[in-house]
Structure 1
Amino acid sequence: MARNYWAGKNAIVTGGLGLIGSHFAEELVAAGATVTLPYRRDNRRVLRQLPADVRPVRLDLHDETQLSELIAGQSGPVDAIVHCAVVSGPMDVRLDRPAHILDANMRSVSNVLNCARRYTVADVVLISSSDIYLSPTRDPIPEEDDFRQRMNYSRDGYYLSKNYAEILAEAYRAEYGMNVFLPRLTSVYGPRDNFEPDTDRVVPSMFAKVLAGEEIEIWGDGSQTRTYMYAADLVRAILGMVEVNKYHMMNVGTTETVSVLELARTICAALGRPERIRTDPRRSGGRPSRTLDVTKLNEIIDFTPRSLREGLDQTVDWYRTVYAAA
């Protein structure tokens, strides 16, 4: 892949103070792009961890006028928008507040697509999720096993918003000829993840339990398998997806499948703490497997994503030198 694809380009990254968006900002600046980060708040003090070249702008993505003015006010044409901003939460929140989550996410997606069309933005990336595969029929899950085959309903507002965002993107591509990319992500972790007490993410929540000397509780027997991808590797893969421009809808993940029990043990080892893990077979651990078919991804990337242990070791280093110190 030609990394000079981004040199001199003007990119906007929404959600740029989150786990994924912050790594996009870092990688794009390193590749020679000018990066603008619209954001609402910096509760986790991520901004000071990013390159000085990044241009932060306070903005509400639900206000289309604000986003339009941001794009119009750039020193040159905007070449790419990477939309990482999202409203989500733990599963109970996703089920209890489906209208709030669906409405918030769809308004921001609609505004991004409308503004990108209005200002002829060449590349638009809408970060999607493997959560769209509610009832897959194959393992590993191919891209075709999605809403085009069957559209299952769930009250989960996050699930609905990701499906409808993809449907809207497909409609914009068909009607307006826009170049919209839909990477469907596996579980992601790494530096600048949400390690705050309110986190709903599995890796940081296990970190917190281990460091507090508490038990990690795993629902089910722990044999359910998942894949996890280091955030910087995920961003490299998605940028490659745009550079190659072969697939507009693609699974992004790794081939390293681990059980949830193995994940907990690996986190304990990376932190250098004893294993204190308890399984609860009486409670559902979710689907037995959520492995993605990454055949298409492996066609376009020119690197091997780091292993879970390597990525966790690097996350621990960041946690101790940056997060814990702060």
Structure 2
Amino acid sequence: MKITTGLNPYGLTWYLGLQGAGTPRHNPNGVGLGGFIRLTQELGGKAIELWDGWLRDKSDAELASLRQRLDDLGWKRVISSGLQQGDMDMLIRVARALDARFIRVALTPILCGDRAAAGQRWHELVRSVHEKLEAAVPKLEAADVVLLIENHQDFTSRELVGLCEEYGPHVRIVFDMANTFPVAESPLDFTRVIAPYVRHCHVKDYRVHFEPDGFRLVRCPSGDGCVPHKEMFDILAKHNDEMVACIEIGALEARHVKLYTPEWWHGYAPKEAEALAACLLAAHKNRFAEGDDWRTPWERNADHELIEYELGQYRKSAANLKALGLM
């Protein structure tokens, strides 16, 4: 399988000026889209994921100029947004203007697999996902654009496959390779289920800190944590001749998955013990020792460390993936 690898912006939110935007705690000197393109060049990327907030107000001429720049670089490109708040007409317009075949969306704002915390709102969100996908598909078909739905710590592997099968070939999956743990699935099990439907990957990783009520997922360079990227790409290769992949580092806030509590399981189908055991076993690789400080600089209020922290993790990720032959 040919893998074309580049960068995703969401692990660079402080450096880019996205973290805390509009609040007192933000980086007023964020480098924005221009700086993101320069970093992708520096790290040798050949693909780029573009946040829709950078694009929605651009004129046709500005979009044409950006497309020419990306064409000159020879980069694959993916437009990134969310299904609940994104404007599908705008996203399709931007995708066509930039010659981007894929639009990536998170389906809901639920994190940490915590459907129970959302209460009745979880069921309302699921209904909304179906309504929005049904409305989007005719537009996607007319534009010949594919909507990529992400496993964004909310839906299980089989639920994502169900959405793809229900809404057809213009709805496929962007695979966040570290987001299997928040829904209590092991990376390899999740990959085996969704592999035929994956068209784009977020090459992300986590180190785990175990807690009395579950575990925390803490960002780290891709290749330094518990995600077996090489083995996952080997599975994907059985179903795909080529793949676009983007390095993504996790959020500046660790994700607390409280799956040792009965409440957390509300809203999930019953799970076999062997499958849960596979998830927990995978999470032990490169885990934090008891008593280690797992907090990021953001969580320690050490904002002065954040730029080097984010850039260092992306640079280490690129080096790790190059060593694995994945970039």
TM range (shorter): 0.3 to 0.5
TM-score if structure 1 supplies the norm length? Answer: 0.39
TM-score if structure 2 supplies the norm length? Answer: 0.39
